Amino acid sequence: MTDKAHQDTPSSGPAAAGPAAAGEPVSTDLTDDLTTSEHEIIVDGRPLPYTAITGRMILRQEKHTDAAFDGAQPKAEVFLTAYTVAGADSSTRPVTFAFNGGPGSSSVWLHLGLLGPRRVLSGDVGALLPPPYGLTDNQQTLLRHSDLVFIDPVSTGFSRVVKGEKPGDFHGYQGDIESVGEIIRLWTTRNGRWMSPKYLCGESYGTLRAAGLARHLQDRYGMYLNGLVLISAYLDGGTAEFGGGNDDPYIMYLPTYTAIAHYHGLLGDRPLREALTEAEAYAEREYPWVLARGTRLPDGDRARALTRLSALTGLSGDYLDRVNLRPEHIRFLTELLRHRHRTVGRIDGRFTGWDSDYGRETWTSDPSIDAIVGPYTAALNQYVRAELGYASDLPYEILTDRVQPWSFKEFEGTHVHVLDKLAEAMRVNPHMRVHVACGYYDAATPYYAAEHSVAHLAIPPDLAGNVEFSYYEAGHMMYLHEPSRLAQSAQLARFIGGA
């Protein structure tokens, strides 16, 4: 925000000067710890005034002893940041609940990268900015069209369990769905927004959460949504779980391998779309047959498959032969530019990095994550305190492994998938629309797998038009790439705001 446009007037909630400000891990008074501030940015020459409410909301669970109601017991404090525009008609102005994935990720990426009124300046591939980075007004903020609520699941951001509770109760599919769903219900109720259009925006594992929430909110609270935004979708674990005799991931990742190899100049100078069309055609028909044959594959067919895969992936035929026609994704990212002494990013295959040696089977870290953690961490920690007025000595957990092991006990005996839940939510609520955003260079959640998953939704043909895709020449967080950020902001404005 510019000095003239930025107007901060922090005011404290009832617990703002309590334990959180003193750096205690949990509140002892167990009241909401929220701070309100007023702001304004200039968008297209016109002021956009808004209110920001940020802090931790108490999450409670009803307790019964011997069939008698014992009240609502505090379980956790969930950190959120909500932006609302005063004077708007709540019956027509949407509200979008946003979260990232992980599991173990805070909502900082969508908050300060794409949707919020302020965004971090981090640079991009080949032009990364040095510390201390910067913040600027987000002229394309979705706040122009929708109020925004960013939610940090338990153990991410500043969210923590209260004293005596077990974090593990929230570190799993069902516990996560129920806790985030309860926060959405509470915010909607307390802010009188039951009659507002409502959207969920999730990224990565957040898309699995969003799909599960769509059904959970319907079934548990009767809350029907207007739409889902699924950024870098992960809906069916079977498309991404390598090994164990599962050949599907090798097929789903092939077009992404082609995109990344093309970006790094290993497939000639033909257009990207031409290379992807060829890879998709091979992944659709011949490659599944080749892998399904196993040891029954004749030598001649194997030799042709090695030649074809080499041309599509940039890997040598010798390497592909050694991995039995099945390049796993981290191994691919380690091998692709080994001859240049570079490793390739998983979150965004445009990024490259260095390693301690280049004889490794797999790289030691993701160079695309390494490039962005610093800017986003610095920006959030400065922004929430200096501009939003929320004080805490707790570490803001940007991306934590403290949620591991993550429980998928609900899927015991099968792979994780929410296609059935999303399909049921759509059948029950035929007005709910779904927007799926894909990055061609995303080696975490490949675009071809998202297409495959959506094609297997058990919905009638009448609802097929409720789902739309958008594609970007970028990675998992496509908004790191400025042209993609601008294009994606316009797509979301149209989808949610009707602009």
- Does residue 71 register a pLDDT over 80? no
pLDDT of residue 61: 82
Nearest Cα neighbor of 259 from 404, 110, 124, 442 is 442
pLDDT of residue 446: 98
Which pLDDT band holds residue 68 (cuts at 50, 70, 90)?
A: confident
Q: Which percentage of the chain shows pLDDT scores above 90? A: 87
CA–CA dist 498, 142 (Å, integer): 12
Q: How far is CA 215 from CA 114, 428, 436, in A?
A: 26, 9, 18
* Secondary structure percentages of the chain, helix, strand, coil, to 5: 40, 20, 40
- Does residue 69 register a pLDDT over 90? no
| Contacts within 8 Å (CB) and 24+ apart, 270-274 | 272/440, 272/473
Which pLDDT band holds residue 67 (cuts at 50, 70, 90)?
A: confident
pLDDT of residue 10: 34
pLDDT of residue 24: 41
- Does residue 290 register a pLDDT over 50? yes
Mean pLDDT across 235-253: 94
Which pLDDT band holds residue 16 (cuts at 50, 70, 90)?
A: very low
- Does residue 2 register a pLDDT over 60? no
- Does residue 26 register a pLDDT over 70? no
pLDDT of residue 243: 86
In contact, 367 and 350? CB cutoff 8 Å:
no
Query: Mean pLDDT of all residues in the chain?
Result: 92
E-only strand ranges, 232-373: 343-344, 352-353
- Does residue 421 register a pLDDT over 50? yes
The single residue listed with the structure tokens 């570079």 is 342
Residue 7 makes CB contacts below 8 A (sequence gap 6+) with 38, 39, 40
E-only strand ranges, 31-173: 33-43, 46-65, 68-84, 95-99, 118-121, 134-137, 147-151, 160-161
CATH of domain 11-237+372-497: 3.40.50.1820
In contact, 147 and 82? CB cutoff 8 Å:
yes
Mean pLDDT across 52-60: 95
In contact, 8 and 118? CB cutoff 8 Å:
no
Q: How far is CA 202 from CA 78, 209, 227, 250, 399, in A?
A: 17, 7, 11, 25, 15
Nearest Cα neighbor of 434 from 495, 497, 487 is 495
How are beta strands 95-99 and 68-84 bridged, if at all?
Answer: unpaired
pLDDT of residue 11: 35
pLDDT of residue 97: 98
Q: How far is CA 147 from CA 5, 82, 142, in A?
A: 19, 8, 8
In contact, 78 and 59? CB cutoff 8 Å:
yes
Mean pLDDT across 417-444: 97
Nearest Cα neighbor of 336 from 321, 349, 355, 322 is 349
Which pLDDT band holds residue 422 (cuts at 50, 70, 90)?
A: very high
pTM: 0.92
Which pLDDT band holds residue 29 (cuts at 50, 70, 90)?
A: low
CA–CA dist 117, 112 (Å, integer): 8
Which pLDDT band holds residue 62 (cuts at 50, 70, 90)?
A: confident
Q: How far is CA 338 from the centre of its chain?
A: 29
Mean pLDDT across 239-265: 95
CA–CA dist 156, 105 (Å, integer): 6
pLDDT of residue 86: 85
Domain ranges for the chain, please list them. 11-237+372-497, 264-368
pLDDT of residue 15: 34
Query: What's the token pair of residue 292?
Result: 């399904």
In contact, 118 and 136? CB cutoff 8 Å:
yes
Quickly count: other Cβ atoms within 10 Å of residue 133's Cβ.
18
CA–CA dist 240, 181 (Å, integer): 26
Q: Is 56 helix (H, G, I), strand (E, B) or coil?
A: strand
pLDDT of residue 475: 97
Mean pLDDT across 241-264: 96
| Contacts within 8 Å (CB) and 24+ apart, 211-215 | 211/235, 211/418, 211/419, 211/421, 211/422, 211/425, 212/173, 212/177, 212/418, 212/421, 213/177, 213/180, 213/181, 213/184, 214/421, 214/422, 214/425, 214/426, 214/432, 215/421, 215/422, 215/424, 215/425
pLDDT of residue 276: 98
- Does residue 497 register a pLDDT over 90? no
What would the pLDDT profile of 355-373 be if each residue is shown by its tens digit?
A: 999 999 999 999 999 999 9
Mean pLDDT across 468-492: 97
Q: 463 pairs with which residues across the strands? A: none
268-282 burial by CB neighbour count: b if 16+ within 10 A, else e?
eeeeeeebbebbbeb
- Helix 447-455 and helix 248-263, axial crossing angle in degrees, nearest 10: 140
Which pLDDT band holds residue 401 (cuts at 50, 70, 90)?
A: very high
Burial label, 408 (beta-carbon count in 10 A; 0-12, 13-18, 19+): middle
Cα diameter, the chain:
75
